[in-house]
Amino acid sequence: MAPTYNIAMVSDFFFPQPGGVESHIYQLSSKLMDRGHKVIIITHAYDGRTGVRYLTNGLKVYHVPFLVIYRSTTFPTVFSFFPMFRNIVLRERIDIVHGHASLSNLCHEAILHARTMGLRTVFTDHSLFGFADAASILTNKLLKFSLSDVDHVICVSHTCKENTVLRASLDPLMVSVIPNAVVAENFKPPDASELSSNSFGQNPPPARPLGPHDTITIVVISRLFYNKGTDLLTAAIPRILENHPNTRFIIAGSGPKAIDLEQMIEQNVLQDRVEMLGSIRHEEVRDVMVRGHIYLHPSLTEAFGTVIVEAASCGLYVVCTQVGGIPEVLPSHMTVFAKPEEDDLVAATGKAIAALRANKVRTELFHEQVKSMYSWTNVALRTERVYNGISGAISEAEFYGYDASNPATWSATRGRSGVQSFALIDRLKRYYGCGIWAGKLFCLCVIVDYLIFLLLELWFPRDKIDICPDWPRKPRNERRESGVR
Amino acid sequence: MAPPSGLHHSALPSGSLNTSSTAVNGTRDHPILARSATAPTTLKPHRPDPSHLAPEDAFVSASPPRRPALFDGGNGSGNETRPRRIRRKEASRSRSRRRKRFQKLLWVKQSYPDNYTDQATFLENLQRNPRVQPYDFWPLVADSTVIMQHVCSVIIFVVCFVGIFQERVSPVSVVGWGSFATFVGWLLWDWWVGQETQEAGAVDGNIRAGPRDFRQPRRQDSEVALPGFNPSTTSVSSTSNMASAASSSTNLVHENYRSQRSIPNGYDTANGGNLLMPGHAPSRSVSSVHSATSQTSLPKADGYGYGDGAYWDGPPSRWGRAKLRLGTIKSAILIYFTLLGLSPILKSLTRSTSSDSIWAMSFWLLAINIFFFDYSGSGGVRKFPVASLSTNAALMASTVLASRLPSTGQVFSLTLFSIEVFGLFPVFRQYARHRSWRYHVGLTVLLVLGAGGGVGMILGDKDEQRGLPWKNGLIGMVVGCLISAVAMGGCSWWLIGLQKYKNEIYGPWDPARPIIISRRHWDDE
């Protein structure tokens, strides 16, 4: 019987704000609770949402009052979160602190304080960063600071792992790749009643052959920003429509580049072939997707690209640019890859249209395939292995996969991957290596943090803090475990 | 400021990679950890080192020579397919083996733990310094002359102020010589413009025949970058703290160039001289075709915006140029009298402020002028705020400095002189550089000598001046030349020396740069 843990997910980004990180945290938390763990979520207070909230499944959310500066990121104060964080952690008897998203200041602070308090920490990175511009350099330095003493890092794709390893100078073995998943039930292809055909409940579902003159609908759902490749889209749409009669576009999403798209539509008089829906809610995404046959994703950078998995789950053939982690996400029979070039995107879309017209692509099978590839249960299981590894339930040798009998093979990383020691001096050693000046500054921060911790122990003694009664935990379903590694 | 000596052996800055020193050593010490070590035979459940990566390997595998053929310098993301496809085929072949090969894919159920790091594929697409262009020494020195020129002209201005303030130099002689130089410069400039319009007029016919074909060369031209003018007109005239005299004086310069900046502006300027300026057809006809982009991509031939004269007549007319000269003289006279009228007001502007604050303030303003000056010489609309900030700072510095002076004549002289130095002279310098490299070098030498000599004379003892007035000046010139040579050479050498710390990292995580052929909406960001 594997142990169960009390886990605190910490991130600036959570509901009611919509987004990928938010739903990742929610889905992962609820699946972990299904597996018998206790999970709470700590985020900052949103408008009209303060204090403690309970979500479905008894998921408890702490909305901590904090100054929000930019796009719901809190102001980095390094220490000010500590008293409240300590209180929550002690109340909830937390063992593992799991931070999300590298732009979230709350998460970095929580990791620092958690290590000071002697807790295990995990960090999940959801995004890619470059190394060139000033903003990235600053973010990378801060990431290095908080990840100097983290126990394990989870990345959503292999590209993301490479990126994070370089940015934070981590040992690659303490970085796991656990992808996002989709709730396949929410992204079903149009069923029989929606298609108004008489085939009913067949397994596998019947193919939907396309006639040579049927209209093929290409769906684009993305925020219309520069890095989502809207410029490519704007350039490619008129050419695609010109090359292929009987095609039309549905574009959902809003953003600063929407005006370019509208201008393109008017210049080329494509009002009847390009439909712009504006921004849509996440619940409506599926309903828009099932109206199309091809999903076009022209993004310029993407860590994982959940939306293309959702599209494939809806039974759409996916045309996407080959950037970031996208090539790892879907098998080649579901996708046509394009370089981030106008010509190549047009050609790839043409290829996809031709393949659909020839009825070569079994899109009706996609849903089941995607369902077997990505599920949150699997993600939770794999995350649980990380928890087991860092808390010692799995032996270090097994978790990190080195030969314990031959320490010479692993001397270089022992300092990093064997992050077992909470001794202040060991932690300082790890921070000191961060850079000539930064190392000393980071050490100073850690020492101050430790002093604050001692002060808090005196000021608010542990035994004076109430222990919060737990919800009855779900019994652990061992049967489910056997199927997956 | 010297680089930390501990990093000499490493090409990596300590900032980006924690274990960089071990990494570089690791390259030499552990050749075993190369890619070939991933043979499937070693894949046992708890295998010893070779199938797992040590952290060094992040950097070892990062070294560019490993797969040079794949890096075409452009975007790395396009290159990913090939190795991956090959691997996939290999994977299908080795299915008989006990364990499948690791694949960098997320949808496959892999028989490896999540934190497994595959030596063969980890960081395979990383590129380091793919687009680095090494600097050469002499071109760098040559480029630094532009900065030297500007610093020297600022020094000359300060020297003149000190001279006037200490009553060593008569303000009338300063402004007299300054105006004389400006007049000579204007004549020269006028002559150059005349020459160039004739040349351009000769080309004119060809361009008229095919304005469409002109489009491509224009783009190239604008990339090669040639001095247009920093269009600081509007903001100069909008500065609240400047006397209106100063702004109208810059208009004297700018009215000639304004037409270049934007088509609508060029058309509705009420200034007669503007419309009648000598010019050639192409700039107008072309820019009216591509009015959206023309502001930034005007060809160098009409970099000074005398192009809109073609509004009435294609080839330059003698009548137009005479009219232009007349207009210039008219504005000059206007500025002269406005300044004369404003001088008494300027004199008492900062009477309630102590001198110390004025010195500090003018120091910072001149520093702003030097740091924000548009040295590139390709004055486009984009540089607009920065360039005008520089000019405004300088004119404000001169205003506050002038307000320290006791008499109206001195104030008038210094303000007029500052307008000549900061408003008109940069234009002339840019144009001289554009005209001929020889003029540029000559001007630089002249400025360095002038600045050095001036500083020498100012620093020399006041009483001694009666005896050997030029001795200090000569010493100053020699020292000035030495300092400038050391500064230009030393800084260039230093910059080249710093290049070895350059460590740009590119990989699939970087946002791809989209290639769009019909660049209608695409602005190079």
How far apart are alpha carbons A398 and A376 in whole angstroms? 24
Q: How far apart are CA B270 and CA A44, in angstroms?
A: 58
Residue B231 distance to chain A (closest CA, Å): 28
Tokens of B283: 């700039």
Q: Which of B391, A102, B480 is nearest to B383 (CA)?
A: B391
Contacts of A399 in chain B (CB under 8 A): 113, 115
Crossing angle between the packed helical segments B469-498 and B437-459, to the nearest 10 degrees: 120
Best CA proximity match to A293, nearest among A219, A366, A357, A220: A219
What is the rounded distance in angstroms from the CA atom of residue B448 to the CA atom of residue B460? 18
Q: How far apart are CA A5 and CA A108, in angstroms?
A: 21
Question: B121 falls in which pLDDT band (50, 70, 90)?
Answer: confident
Give CA separation, B454 vs A87, B21, B153, in Å.
70, 51, 11
Q: Which of A141, A144, A231, A416 to mutate to test the interface with B (most CBs of B within 10 A)?
A: A231
Q: Rounded to the nearest 5°, which phi and psi values hold at A317?
A: -80, 130
Name the DSSP class of A83. Answer: H
Cβ–Cβ of A162/B507 closer than 8 Å?
A: yes
Q: Evaluate if residue A470 carries a pLDDT over 80.
A: yes
pLDDT band at A76 (very low <50, low <70, confident <90, very high): confident
Interface contact A342-B516, CB threshold 8 A = yes
Instruction: Report the C-alpha gap between B65 and B502 in whole angstroms.
Output: 17
Q: Do the Cβ atoms of A104 and A126 come closer than 8 Å?
A: no
Query: Which of A245-254, B240-249, B362-371, B423-432 comes out lowest in average pLDDT?
Result: B240-249
| Distance of residue B193 Cα from the nearest chain A Cα, in angstroms | 41
Is residue B16 less than 8 Å (CB to CB) from chain A? yes
Residue A257: pLDDT above 60?
yes
Q: What's the rounded Cα separation, in Å, for the pair B221 and A39? A: 62
Convert the pLDDT of each residue in B408-446 to its tens digit: 888 988 899 998 888 888 888 888 888 788 888 998 999
Which residues have CB under 8 Å from B35's CB, separation 6+?
A: B61, B66, B119, B120
Predicted local distance difference test score (pLDDT) of residue B255: 42
Work out the percent of chain B whose per-residue pLDDT is above 70: 53
**Region for residue B105 given its phi and psi (left: phi exceeds 0; alpha: psi -120 to 50; beta: otherwise):** beta
Q: Write the pLDDT tens digit of every residue in A285-313.
A: 888 998 899 999 999 988 888 889 999 99
CA-CA-CA-CA dihedral for B310, B316, B319, B321, to nearest 10: 90
Distance from the first to the final alpha carbon of chain B: 32
Evaluate whether B18 touches A434 at the Cβ level (below 8 Å). yes
A192 vs A476, higher pLDDT: A476
Q: How far is the CA of B510 from the CAs of A133, A319, B119, B506, in angstroms?
A: 11, 20, 22, 6
Which residues of chain B lie closer than 8 angstroms to A401, CB-CB?
46-47, 52, 113, 115-116
- List all residues 6 or more positions away from B438 whose beta carbon is below 8 Å from its beta carbon: none
Backbone angles phi, psi at A283, to 5 degrees: -70, -25
Choose among B35, B48, B39, B103: nearest CA to A401: B48
Least confident of A6-10, A195-199, B150-154: A195-199
Contact B307, B273 (CB under 8 A): no
Is the pLDDT at A314 greater than 60, yes or no? yes
Least CB-CB distance to A436: which of B14, B508, B511?
Answer: B14
Are the Cβ atoms of B104 and A328 closer than 8 angstroms?
Answer: yes
Lowest-pLDDT choice from A341-345, A444-448, B513-517 = B513-517
Nearest CB to A158 within list B18, B81, B104: B104
What's residue B263's pLDDT? 38
Cis, peptide link before residue A204, omega less than 30° from 0:
yes
Ramachandran angles phi, psi of A96, nearest 5° = -130, 130
pLDDT at B52 over 70: no
Separation between Cα atoms, residue B11 and residue B20, nearest integer Å: 9
> Phi and psi at residue B209, in whole multiples of 5°?
-60, -40
Using CB atoms, pick whichever of B117, B512, B525 lies closest to residue A173. Answer: B117
Q: One-letter amino acid identity for B321?
A: R
Q: What value of ipTM does the predicted structure carry?
A: 0.75
Structure tokens at A452: 């604050």
- Cα of A68 to nearest chain B Cα, Å: 27
Give the pLDDT score at B4: 40
Element spanning A364, H or E: none
Q: Of the candidates B56, B512, B515, which has its C-beta nearest A342's C-beta?
A: B515
Name the band, by pLDDT with cuts 50, 70 and 90, for residue A279.
confident
- The predicted model scores a pTM of 0.66
Q: How far is residue A253's CA from residue A441's CA, in Å, rounded to a whole number?
A: 43
Q: B220 vs A462, which has greater pLDDT? A: A462
Q: Place B317 in a pLDDT band, splitting at 50, 70 and 90.
A: low
**Using alpha carbons only, what angle is made at residue A329 by residues A324 and A330, rounded to the nearest 5 degrees?**
130
Beta bridge partners of A6: A38
For A406, the closest of B48, B53, B54 (CB atoms) is B48
CA separation for the pair A135, B517 (Å, rounded):
30
Least confident piece of the model among A284-298, A359-373, B63-77, B151-165? B63-77
Q: Which two tokens stand for residue B482?
A: 């030495």
Supply the mean pLDDT for chain A: 84
pLDDT reading at B321 higher than 90: no
3-state secondary structure of B167: coil
Report pLDDT digits (tens) over A99-119. Answer: 998 888 899 999 999 989 988
A67 forms bridges with which residues in the sheet?
none
CA–CA separation, A116 and A454 (whole Å): 10
Categorize the per-residue pLDDT at B469 as very low, low, confident or very high, splitting at 50, 70 and 90. low
Least trusted range by pLDDT, from A395-409, B265-279, B390-404, B477-491 = B265-279
Is A61:A43 a contact under the CB 8 Å cutoff? yes
A187-233 tens-digit pLDDT = 888 875 555 444 444 445 555 667 777 889 999 998 888 888 899 99
Nearest to A108 by CA among A147, A61, A160: A147
Q: How many percent of chain A have pLDDT more than 70?
A: 90
Does B518 touch chain A if contact means CB atoms closer than 8 Å? yes
* Chain A neighbors of B82, CB-CB under 8 A: none
Report the run of H or E that residue A417 belongs to, with start and end: helix A411-417
Return the beta strands (E) in A89-204 as ranges: 96-100, 120-125, 152-155, 175-177
Mean pLDDT for the stretch of residues B386-409: 86
Chain B neighbors of A340, CB-CB under 8 A: 75, 77-78, 512-515
| Paired strand residues for A73 | A70
Q: If you measure CA to CA, which chain A residue comes closest to B3?
A: A436
Tens digit of pLDDT for each residue in B194-235? 887 777 766 555 544 444 433 333 333 333 333 333 333 333
The token duo for A377 is: 């249960």
What confidence category does residue A169 fall into, taking pLDDT thresholds of 50, 70 and 90?
Answer: confident
Dig out the tokens for A419 from the structure. Answer: 């992050």
CA angle at B426 for the pair B311 and B340, rounded to the nearest 5°: 90
- Residues written for chain A: 485
Element (H, E) at B202: helix B171-209
Q: Tell me what pLDDT residue A481 has.
A: 47
CB contact under 8 A, A340 and B49: no
Whole-angstrom distance, CA of residue A168 vs CA of residue B231: 44
**And the tokens for B295?**
């502001």
Query: Which chain B positions have a beta carbon within 8 Å of A235's beta carbon?
Result: 516-518, 520-522
Which of A244-253, B224-233, B323-332 is predicted most confidently?
A244-253
Band (pLDDT 50/70/90 cuts) for residue B109 is confident
pLDDT value of residue A47? 84
**Residue A343 with chain B: CB contacts under 8 Å:** 515, 517
Distance CA A264, CA B355 (A): 60
pLDDT tens, residue by residue, B375-386: 876 554 444 556
Closest CA to B428 of B176, B225, B256: B256
Tell me which chain A residues have a C-beta less than 8 angstroms from the C-beta of B111.
485
- For B284, the 3-state DSSP assignment is helix
pLDDT of residue B361: 92
**Pair of tokens at residue B493:** 């050498």
Q: Looking at mean pLDDT, say which of A88-102, B206-220, B287-301, B500-514 comes out highest.
A: A88-102
Supply the DSSP symbol for B419.
Answer: I
- 3-state SS class at A130: coil
Distances in whole angstroms, Cα of residue A433 to Cα of each of A426, B19, B60, B75: 12, 8, 20, 33
